Amino acid sequence: MRVTIKGQVTIPKDIREALGISPEAEIDFIEDDGRFYIVKTDESKITGKFRKFRGIASSKMSTDEIMSLTRKS
């Protein structure tokens, strides 16, 4: 596997399937005694004041439209 200049790697299909990782899935990296593990995270644990806006914006929206979504609350 090769790491891109942006620090990205492609998770092989068989590993994604075994872990139940689909596009847009949330994952985390766990460190244990110098070894790192990929785990699928529970998306319901996502916190923060913008959590309710997750997934609302699309690439068809302008920056101003996206910002107005966050300012309504």
- Domains recognised in the chain with CATH numbers: 1-41 (2.10.260), 47-73 (no CATH)
Extract the tokens encoding 8. Answer: 């990205």
The DSSP secondary-structure symbol of 11 reads: P
CB 54 within 8 A of CB 46: yes
pTM of the predicted model as reported, rounded to 2 decimal places: 0.47
| Mean of the per-residue pLDDT values of the chain | 80
Give how far Cα 52 sits from Cα of 15, 30, 62, 64, Å.
30, 26, 19, 18
What are 14-30's pLDDT values in tens digits? 988 888 888 888 888 88
Q: E-strand spans in 1-73? A: 27-32, 35-40
Extract the tokens encoding 15. Answer: 């590993």
Rounded Cα distance between 8 and 57, Å, is 23
